[in-house]
Amino acid sequence: MVVGVPAGAAPSSAPGAPGISSAWTTGAKRGVGTSTTLESKVWHTLGQGILNEVYYPRLDVPNVQDMQYVVTDGRSFTELERDATTREIRLPDSRSLRYRQINTDRDGRYRITKTYVTDPRRSALLVRTRFEVLEGGPLRLYALYNPSLNGSGMGDSGATSEGTLVASDGEVASALASSNGFGAATSGYSGTASDGYRDLETDHRLDNHYDRAAEPGNLVQTARIPVGTDSTFTLALGFGADRAAAKSTARAALADGYDTARRGYDVGWHRYLASIDHVPRSVASRGLITQYNVAAMTLKSQEDKTYRGAFVASTSIPWGGAKNADSCCTGGYHLVWARDLYHTATAAMAMGDHAAANRALDYLLDVQWRQDGSFPQNTWLDGEPHWPSLQLDEVAYPIVLAHQLGRTGDAEWAKLRESADFIVENGPATPQERWEEESGYSPSTIAAEIAGLVTAADIARQHGDHRAARRYLATADEWQRKVEDWTFTTTGPHGDGEYYQRVDDDGDPNNGHRLCLNNGGGCHDERAVVDAGFLELVRLGVKPADDQAVLDSLPETDERLRVLTPNGPGWYRYNHDGYGEAAGGEPYTGEGIGRLWPLLTGERGEYEIASGDSAGTHLETMARMANEGYLIPEQVWDRKSGDGFVFGEGTGSATPLAWSMSQFVQLAHNMDAGRNLDTPAVVAHRYTE
C-alpha cells in the first residue's frame, strides 16, 4: 500500500502542467517480446538497458516512452539506471523470446537484473526484478514510468488508486503495480517541479510529493519500492480500455505470479519453434542456431493479434528520440508495407509456417487491396493509408505471393486480375521505387512487375482466361527486353561507364538528367547514382545470373557501395543516400548520411547462390551484424570513427527490421536448397532456364 497519505485525504494536483514536449525513444531495440497467445495484446521493446515502447491493443499503438529505475542513497546521489550503469542483455532460454537486462552501477554500488514476459492470459507486462546492493549502505529504489498512451505523449492524465499508479488517454489506460507494494507514489509533469525524478534529484526523496494527481499533459509517474540489500519483486504494467480495467489486469497478473506467466510464455514459444521446419543445415553447421530461432520468433512477434496477417515492418520508431510525440500519431515503422509483408511471408514459407504466409496474403487482399487493383504505399493496421504514394512493386508482390502459395482460386483471382491490369496500364515507370523516394524506370521495380505479370498469366491460364494471359505475357516480355534500354547506361561516369542506374526519369539512361534525392542527398547526374536493385532481375528469374548487363554492373556497384566492416561486407542502398545519421552521429531528421543495410548483404548472398557460388560469408556477416539480443538492424555504422557507434554494428535506425530478419531466414534456406526458393519457377522457366 502507499504509506503517508492521511485517511480520506484527497490527492493534491501536480503543478507544472502540461510539462515539456515529449519524444519517443531510439529505434535501436536490443530485445522485443510478446506472448504467442491472442489473449495478450501487448508487445514490449527493450533498449538502453530499460523498457522502451510498449504497444497495446494493436501493434500500431505505442503507449510508453520508457520505464526504468532510479537509485539513491537518500543523501548524496540520485541516478537513472539508463545513464549510470554498464548494461548487458541476455536470452536465458534460446527457444523463447524472453530477455533479461543486467545493469551494474559503474561505481560498483548496486546491480539491477530485470527479466520480461507478457502474461499469456491477459494484456499485462511483468518485469521480474532483482535489486542487489553491492557496496555501501542502504539504497532506495524507485520506478520511473513515462507513459505516452494511445500514441501520444501530451494527453495523459494520472493518479494513485489503491496503491497502484493509473493513467489514461482516450481509449487506452495503464496501471503500474508492484508485488512489494509502493512506499510512496506520485504523478506529475515531465521536466517540471512535479516530475518525481526532479524531486529525487533535489531532495533525494519522494515523500514530499506523494499521491499527487495530474491532468492531461506529458505525464511521468514515480513510485518507491521497498527493498533491502538483496530483494526480488515483480512489476506489473497492465492495460485496458479504462483505469479500472487496467488496474484489474495488473492485479490479476500479480496474483497469478511471475513464475506462472513465465512458464506459459516460454511454453508458447517452444511450441511455435517445434511447429516449424528444422533449423537449416547452413545455420547449424555455423553455430547460428540461436540467431535463426530469434529471427523466426521475432518475425512471428511482428504480427498483430487483432488484424491477423498484418506484420509490421518493425516495432520501432527510427531515431525516435528526435521524433516529437506530443500528438498522435507518429507512424514510425509500426505500419504495414506490402513489400515488407511479402518478404516476411516468403520467409515464413521457407520456415514451413504456411499458415502465417496465408494470413499475410489474406490481409493484403482483404484489408489493403483497393478497387482499382493497387495497394497503398503503407497503411495503419486497419488499412487506412499513412503515406500517400504508390509503388508498383507493391502491386506486383501480392500476385507473386499468391502464386507461390497456390492461392489461385476464384476469390483471389477476382482481385489479382485487377492488380495485374493495373500494372499493365500504369507501368513500367513507377511513382516510387523500392527505396520510396524517386519516380521513374527502376530495375528492381520492373523486375517485380515482370514477375507479377508472368505469375498472373499462369493464374489466368488456370482460369481459362487466355486473352488476359496473352496480354500479361506480351507486356512482361516487352519489358524484359527493354529494361536495359530504359535503365542501363553506356555513358556513365563510373568505371567503364556501362552499368544499371538506380532509376531513370524518362527511360533514356544516357541523357544525364538531374536526379534530386528526396532525403537531403543532393542533386546529381542520374547516371552517377547506382544501387544493387538490378539483382532483383536475377532473384525473380527475369535475367540469368551471368547476364552480361548484370555482370557489367557489379564492379561499379561494389566500388561505390561496398564497405568491408569488421563483421564482413556491407552495402549502401545507393551512393549519395541521405537516409541515416548526420555526419557527427546525430539522429536523422530529414538530412543525413545513409549507412550500410544488412539485408543487402543477404540479397548479394542470393545472387551468389544463383551464380553457383557460396553465400556462407554473407549469412555469417548478417549474423555478426545482429546485436547482443540477436536482432538484425536496418542499418549498421559504416566507418571506423565511432561518433557513438561501432563500425559494422547497428545505428539508431529500425531494429529489428522484419525485412532484415526475413532475409537472414530466406538466405539460410536457400543455401540448404542450393537455389533461391523465392524465385518464381514460372518466371525462371520463361526467361532464364
Q: Which residues are part of the catalytic machinery?
A: 433, 436
- Residue 9: what residue type? A
Look up residue 382 and give its three cell numbers.
Answer: 486497419
The answer to whether 373 and 419 are in contact (CB under 8 A) is yes
Amino acid at 167: A
Give the separation between CA 469 and CA 449, rounded to whole angstroms: 15
The amino acid at residue 107 is D
Residue 326, SS3?
coil
Cα–Cα distances in Å, from 89 out to 26, 58, 301, 429, 651? 16, 26, 19, 46, 17
Query: How far is the C-alpha of 396 from the C-alpha of 603, rounded, in Å?
Result: 19
Three-state SS at 470: helix
Angle at 421 between CA 415 and CA 426, to 5 degrees: 125
Identify the H or E element spanning 157: strand 156-161
Q: How many CA atoms lie within 13 A of 176 on its CB side?
A: 29
Amino acid of residue 375: F
CA distance 333 to 125: 22
DSSP, res 336: B
Residue positions counted in the chain? 689
DSSP assigned state of 57: S
- Helix (H/G/I), strand (E/B), else coil: 682: helix
State the Cα–Cα distance between residues 569 and 558, nearest whole angstrom: 10
CA distance between the termini of the chain: 73
Beta strands in 100-155 (DSSP E): 100-105, 110-118, 124-133, 140-147
Q: How many Å apart are CA 659 and CA 409, to the nearest integer?
A: 28
Q: Looking at beta carbons, which pairs linking 641-648 to residues 24 or more positions away fall under 8 Å?
A: 642/585, 643/581, 643/583, 643/584, 643/585, 644/585, 645/581, 645/585, 647/565, 647/566, 648/565, 648/566, 648/567, 648/568, 648/570, 648/596, 648/624
Residue 202 identity: T
The number of helix segments (H) and strand segments (E) in the chain equals 18, 23
Find, among 554, 561, 570, the residue nearest to 621 by Cα.
Answer: 570
Measured at the CA of 26, the angle between CA 23 and CA 32, to 5 degrees, comes to 115
User: What amino acid occupies position 60?
Assistant: D
Euclidean distance between CA atoms 334 and 329, whole angstroms: 11
Q: Is the dihedral of CA 28, 33, 220, 235 positive or negative?
A: negative
Q: Each residue of 417-453: b (16+ CB within 10 Å) or e?
A: bbbbbbbbebbbbbebbbbbbbbbbbbbbbbbbbbbb
Q: How far is residue 136's CA from residue 28's CA, in Å, rounded to a whole number?
A: 34
One-letter amino acid for residue 635 of the chain: Q
Say how far residue 217 (Cα) sits from the centre of its chain.
Answer: 28
Task: Specify the 3-state DSSP secondary structure of 483.
Answer: helix
CA–CA separation, 47 and 425 (whole Å): 46
